[in-house]
Amino acid sequence: MNQETSLVATLPSTPRGARAARALTVAQLAERKLPFEDAAQVVAELAANAVTHGRVRGRDFRLVLHLAQGPTLRIEVSDTRREFEPAAACGAPDPEAESGRGLVLVSALASRWGTDLGPTPLKTVWAEMDLASPISSDRGFHDPVDQYPVPHDA
């Protein structure tokens, strides 16, 4: 697979750093005239997790974007909290929870995702997206009104 690294950025483990990761992704993909909305959302979720769960005072997180033929985008977000490895399976979040939906969203938008553990304490959460065949705009969600037949006498 012919792959090009289009971005490597080290960012502060702060909300501002997470926003910068999203903005850098949008800029890189827009410059190449590639669809960026879903990729920006995936980066936002992975960066937010790195900032929230992977933060170690004084240590940054890293964002890497790889583009391959197709085009396929591989997003990698690395932090230094190896002990906070994301769950491999994304189940339905607790409806009462105020958080916990980020990896469900990543799973829905990406073709595949996972975690690689590097030298201690490095952890990289990655996601791959096929930019040539975007998911339908309705993402599988339908208006619940559509399930009821329209009365013929209306």
Question: Is residue 143, in this structure, part of any structural domain at all?
Answer: no
Higher pLDDT, 149 or 33: 33
**pLDDT single digits (tens) 76-94:** 999 987 776 665 445 555 6
Domain span including residue 52: 3-134
**pLDDT single digits (tens) 15-61:** 999 999 999 999 999 998 999 999 999 999 999 999 988 777 878 99
Give DSSP secondary structure letters for 119-150: STT-EEEEEEEETTSPPPTTTT---GGGGSPP
CATH number at residue 129: 3.30.565.10
Residue 23: which of 2, 47, 59 has the closest Cα? 47
Structure tokens given for 58: 């004084």
Question: Is residue 144, in this structure, part of any structural domain at all?
Answer: no
Q: In whole angstroms, what is the distance from residue 79 CA to residue 94 CA?
A: 26
Q: Output the pLDDT for position 136.
A: 43
Which stretches within 32-142 are classed as H helix?
37-53, 102-109
Q: Output the pLDDT for position 119.
A: 85
How many domains, in total, are found in the chain? 1
